[in-house]
C-alpha cells in the first residue's frame, strides 16, 4: 500500500516518473536479495572412492537423504579388486542418485551445487563419481564442489548432535588411513600422526583373511570378538610419538597362527572368538594409546573418532571409558556416518559452499590427494 502510494504520488511529475521507476527497480533488487538469502542450499553429493557408491542430498548442512549401494563382489577375493569396483560403480551410480533425489523429495532443478569425492581413493572408482558430477553440473548449470574423502570422514561429526567444538582431535581410522588430526575449523585441519605402513582397517582385514574370514573382515571380527576373550598377547609396535605401525602386528599374528596350527590344525576353528577378541583388543590398545598421548601433548580434551573402524564396538567403548577417566568430551558418529557414505561428502561440501569454494570442469580425480 505504502509502495503504491509513493508510486502514484511520484508519477504526477516528470521527475516523479523516473523516481517511480528507480523506486520499483530498487524494490525489486531488495526482493531478489531477500529471496537469495531465504533460498535453501540443496547439495547433491556423490561418493565413489572405493567400493561403495553413494549419493546424498543435503539441505542447509542437514542430510535429508543418504543412499549407498555396497559391492559384494569383492568378498571372495579378500580385498577390493579395483577393476571390478569401477564397473560396479558404473552400474550403481545413476540408480543411487535417483534414489537419493526421490528420498529427499526434490527435483534436480532445485539443486544449488553438485559435490563429489575427488580423492584419495582408487582411480577407476573416482573417475566414475567425478565424471558423473561433471556431467550433472554441466547439464544443470550448477557449481561443483570437490571434497577430500578424509576431511569428509571428520566432518561426519556435524551430521548429528552433539557437534564437536573446535579445536578437537579426531582419530580417523579407515581401510586406507590411520591419522590423528587436529581440527581447528571446518576447513582447517592438521595431521599430527599417521601410519607408517598399514592402516587400522587394513590390519583388521588382513588379520581376518589369515583367520579365513571374508572381506571386509573388520565388522566380522567385531561381531565374533563379543563372544571371546582377549587371551592371546601380540606385541605393541614401538614407533615415535603420534605415528602408528600395524605391519609388525600382522607379522606376529601370522607367525603365531603358523606355530599353533602346526601343533593343532584346528587351532583357528577352536579359538576363533578368542583370536578375534585378542586381535581387536591389540588394535584398539595401539589406537587409544596414541590418541591419549595426542590429548596430553596438545591439551585438547574434545576427542572424536571417524572412519570405518570407528564403527568398531571395542574402539567405541574404549573411547567412552578413557573419556570418562580423562574428563574428555567424546564424539562418536552414528554407524551410518562411520563407514563410507555420501552424507559426509555433502556436509563437507556445504561448508565449502558457504565459502564459495567451487571447482570447475577441468578438475581430475586425485587418487593420492594430499590432506
What residues make contact with ligand KG4 under the rule CB under 6 A?
50, 174-176, 201, 204-205, 216-219, 222, 307-309, 311-312, 339-340
Of residues 61 and 219, the one with the C-beta less far from ligand KG4: 219
- Region binding Zn ion by CB under 5 A among candidate stretches 125-133, 167-175, 203-211, 262-270: 167-175
Contact 221, 213 (CB under 8 A): yes
Contact 181, 152 (CB under 8 A): no
Could you say which residues in the range 226-265 bind Zn ion, by CB under 5 A? none
Please select the residue that binds Zn ion; options are 53, 88, 174, 278, rule is CB under 5 A: 174
CB of 261 to ligand KG4, least distance (A): 23
Q: Which three cell numbers stand for residue 286?
A: 595401539
Classified as helix, coil or strand, 179 is strand
Instruction: Give me the residues paired with residue 190 across strands.
Output: 182
CB of 65 to ligand KG4, least distance (A): 19
Of residues 146 and 222, the one with the C-beta less far from ligand KG4: 222
Contact 232, 243 (CB under 8 A): no
125: contact with Zn ion by CB under 5 A: no
DSSP class per residue in 250-305: HHHHHHHHHHHHHH-TTHHHHHHHHHHHHHHHHHHHHHHHHHHHHHHHH---EEEE
Of residues 86 and 174, the one with the C-beta less far from Zn ion: 174
Binding partner of residue 198 among ligand KG4, Zn ion, none, CB under 5 to 8 Å per kind? none
Of residues 111 and 349, the one with the C-beta less far from ligand KG4: 349
DSSP class per residue in 36-98: HHHS--EEEEEE-SSSEEEEEEEETTEEEEEEEEE--TTGGGTS--HHHHHHHHHHHHHHHHH
CB of 205 to ligand KG4, least distance (A): 5
Distance CA 65, CA 237 (A): 41
Angular region, 71: left φ>0, alpha ψ -120 to 50, beta rest: beta
CB of 338 to ligand KG4, least distance (A): 7
In 106-156, where do the E strands start and end? 113-119, 144-148
Binding partner of residue 146 among ligand KG4, Zn ion, none, CB under 5 to 8 Å per kind? none
Listed in sequence order, the residues at least 6 apart from 133 whose beta carbon sits closer than 8 Å to its beta carbon are: 46, 114, 115, 116, 144
Binding partner of residue 80 among ligand KG4, Zn ion, none, CB under 5 to 8 Å per kind? none
* CA proximity to 175, closest of 149, 198, 201, 150: 201
CB of 163 to ligand KG4, least distance (A): 20
CB of 203 to ligand KG4, least distance (A): 8
Q: Which three cell numbers stand for residue 317?
A: 567403548
Please select the residue that binds Zn ion; options are 178, 340, 343, 351, rule is CB under 5 A: 340
Q: How many residues bind Zn ion (CB under 5 A)?
A: 2
CB of 137 to ligand KG4, least distance (A): 24
CB of 349 to ligand KG4, least distance (A): 17
Of residues 110 and 214, the one with the C-beta less far from ligand KG4: 214
CB of 149 to Zn ion, least distance (A): 6
Binding partner of residue 346 among ligand KG4, Zn ion, none, CB under 5 to 8 Å per kind? none
Of residues 71 and 174, the one with the C-beta less far from Zn ion: 174
Residue indicated by cell numbers 561381531: 223
Of residues 275 and 344, the one with the C-beta less far from Zn ion: 344
Distance CA 305, CA 315 (A): 9
Of residues 59 and 122, the one with the C-beta less far from ligand KG4: 122
- Region binding Zn ion by CB under 5 A among candidate stretches 9-17, 169-177, 186-194, 216-224: 169-177
Of residues 146 and 205, the one with the C-beta less far from ligand KG4: 205
Distance CA 266, CA 34 (A): 72
Binning the chain into helix, strand and coil, the percentages to the nearest 5 are 50, 15, 30
Which residues bind to Zn ion, rule: CB under 5 A? 174, 340
Amino acid at each position: 500500500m505504502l509502495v503504491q502510494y509513493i508510486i502514484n504520488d511520484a508519477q504526477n511529475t516528470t521527475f516523479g516518473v523516473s523516481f517511480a521507476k528507480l523506486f520499483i527497480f530498487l524494490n525489486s533488487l531488495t526482493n531478489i536479495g531477500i529471496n537469495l538469502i531465504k533460498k535453501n542450499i540443496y547439495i547433491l553429493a556423490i561418493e565413489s572412492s572405493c567400493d561403495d557408491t553413494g549419493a546424498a542430498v543435503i539441505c542447509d548442512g542437514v542430510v535429508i537423504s543418504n543412499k549407498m549401494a555396497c559391492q559384494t563382489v569383492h568378498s571372495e577375493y579378500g580385498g577390493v579388486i579395483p577393476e571390478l569396483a569401477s564397473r560396479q560403480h558404473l552400474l550403481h551410480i545413476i540408480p543411487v542418485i535417483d534414489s537419493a533425489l526421490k528420498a529427499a523429495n526434490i527435483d534436480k532443478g532445485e539443486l544449488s551445487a553438485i559435490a563429489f569425492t575427488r580423492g584419495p581413493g582408487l582411480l577407476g572408482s573416482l573417475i566414475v563419481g567425478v565424471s558423473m558430477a561433471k556431467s550433472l553440473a554441466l547439464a544443470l548449470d550448477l557449481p561443483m564442489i570437490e571434497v577430500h574423502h578424509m576431511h569428509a570422514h571428520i566432518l561426519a561429526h556435524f551430521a548429528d548432535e552433539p557437534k564437536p567444538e573446535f579445536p578437537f582431535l579426531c582419530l580417523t581410522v579407515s581401510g586406507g588411513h590411520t591419522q590423528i588430526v587436529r581440527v581447528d575449523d571446518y576447513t582447517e585441519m592438521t595431521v599430527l600422526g599417521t601410519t607408517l605402513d598399514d592402516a587400522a582397517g587394513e590390519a583388521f582385514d588382513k588379520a581376518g583373511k589369515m583367520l579365513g574370514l571374508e572381506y571386509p573382515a573388520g565388522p566380522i571380527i567385531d561381531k565374533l570378538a563379543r563372544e571371546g576373550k582377549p587371551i592371546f598377547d601380540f606385541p605393541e609396535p614401538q614407533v615415535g610419538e603420534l605415528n602408528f605401525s600395524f605391519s609388525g602386528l600382522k607379522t606376529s599374528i601370522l607367525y603365531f597362527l603358523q606355530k599353533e596350527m602346526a601343533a593343532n590344525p584346528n587351532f583357528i576353528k577352536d579359538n576363533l572368538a578368542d583370536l578375534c577378541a585378542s586381535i581387536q583388543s591389540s588394535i584398539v590398545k595401539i589406537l587409544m594409546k596414541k590418541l591419549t598421548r595426542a590429548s596430553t601433548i596438545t591439551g585438547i580434551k574434545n576427542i572424536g573418532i571417524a572412519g570405518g573402524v570407528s564403527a568398531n564396538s571395542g574402539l567405541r567403548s574404549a573411547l567412552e571409558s578413557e573419556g570418562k577417566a580423562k574428563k574428555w568430551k567424546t564424539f562418536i558418529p552414528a554407524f551410518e556416518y562411520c563407514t563410507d557414505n555420501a552424507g559426509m561428502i555433502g556436509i563437507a561440501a556445504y561448508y565449502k559452499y558457504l565459502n564459495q569454494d567451487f571447482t570447475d570442469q577441468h578438475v581430475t580425480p586425485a587418487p593420492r590427494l594430499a590432506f
